[in-house]
């Protein structure tokens, strides 16, 4: 067995080297162990103590000399069994932690214009579904109008992704609303001064929330059914109030 293999039993590299050296030479002094293992003499003392605690190394006195020897290698099997039993005891708690993490929202952050484009592209992965959007005026003023009109919109329409949008009541958004039918969209306008929309929020895919701040060129996607349902309820409430 190579000393690298011994590390699978929880031994450090130096512990494995010292244990292997003792297995090969039998009873040995610190000097001989140092020479055989290649571990510095000052370090060998500490390593020997660790191996004694693990019951892998024993010590005897011969003619006023202290000699060390490797315990039966089969003790490693017992050590491995102890580790297995310890893992079995911890496993339920570890799994509960893992389940808790699985239930936490997944969040991906993006920076720059390309990051915002990546967020838009993600919404295209859900054809034949509805997308709900709070539309920010900044999407046109501070972003890439050509990307939205020549890349994103045709692909969204082609995938039959319908949109219901709440947008600020400003001249440009009135023109935006006028293109609803060919854009597979229904738009309702809100008072831009009373209810400013400085960032865009898209709800899609039944559990995804995209948030885009165009002037700051930052965006993120949150995956959470609970957050999605809550925001969808807020959207629906506002949508009905604008009818």
Asked if residue 83 is part of any domain, the answer here is no
Pair 59, 162 in one domain:
no
Range of the domain at 48: 3-75
Asked if residue 192 is part of any domain, the answer here is yes
Asked whether 134 and 242 are in contact (CB, 8 A), the reply is no
Asked if residue 144 is part of any domain, the answer here is yes
Tell me what the mean pLDDT of segment 125-136 comes to: 95
Residue where one domain finishes, among candidates 75, 90, 124: 75
Pair 145, 236 in one domain:
yes
| pLDDT surpassing 60 at residue 216 | yes
Q: How far is it, in rounded angstroms, from Cα 138 to Cα 221?
A: 19
Helix (H) or strand (E) holding 164: strand 162-168
| pLDDT surpassing 90 at residue 205 | yes
pLDDT at 14: 87
Pair 128, 63 in one domain:
no
Specify the pTM: 0.59
pLDDT in tens, 142-192: 677 888 888 999 999 999 999 999 999 998 888 889 999 999 999 999 999
113: domain CATH number is 3.30.870.10
Pair 227, 110 in one domain:
yes
Asked whether 201 and 179 are in contact (CB, 8 A), the reply is no
User: Using 50, 70 and 90 to split pLDDT, how confident is the model at 3?
Assistant: low
> How many structural domains are present in the chain?
2
17: domain CATH number is 1.10.10.10
For residue 63, give the 3-state DSSP assignment. coil
Asked if residue 161 is part of any domain, the answer here is yes
| pLDDT surpassing 80 at residue 97 | no
| pLDDT surpassing 60 at residue 100 | no
Pair 190, 115 in one domain:
yes
Q: How far is it, in rounded angstroms, from Cα 153 to Cα 171?
A: 20
| pLDDT surpassing 60 at residue 47 | yes
Asked if residue 81 is part of any domain, the answer here is no
């Amino acid at each position: 067995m190579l000393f690298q293999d011994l590390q699978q039993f929880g031994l450090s590299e130096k512990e494995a080297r010292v244990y292997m050296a003792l297995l090969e030479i039998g009873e040995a002094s610190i000097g001989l162990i140092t020479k055989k293992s290649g571990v510095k003499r000052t370090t060998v003392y500490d390593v020997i103590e660790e191996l004694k605690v693990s019951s892998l190394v024993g010590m005897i006195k011969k003619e006023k000399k202290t000699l060390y020897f490797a315990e039966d290698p089969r003790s490693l099997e017992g050590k491995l069994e102890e580790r297995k039993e310890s893992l079995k005891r911890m496993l339920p708690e570890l799994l509960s932690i893992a389940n808790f993490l699985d239930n936490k929202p997944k969040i991906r952050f993006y920076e720059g214009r390309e990051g915002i484009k990546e967020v838009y592209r993600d919404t295209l992965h859900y054809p034949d579904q509805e997308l709900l959007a709070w539309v920010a005026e900044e999407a046109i003023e501070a972003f890439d109008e050509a990307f939205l009109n020549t890349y994103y919109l045709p692909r969204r329409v082609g995938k039959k992704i319908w949109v219901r949008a709440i947008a600020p009541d400003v001249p440009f958004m009135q023109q935006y609303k006028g293109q609803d039918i060919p854009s597979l969209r229904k738009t309702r306008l809100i008072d831009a001064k009373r209810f400013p929309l400085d960032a865009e929020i898209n709800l899609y895919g039944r559990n995804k929330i995209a948030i885009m701040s165009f002037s700051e060129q930052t965006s993120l996607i949150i995956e959470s059914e609970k957050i999605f349902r809550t925001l969808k309820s807020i959207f629906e409430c506002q949508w009905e109030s604008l009818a």
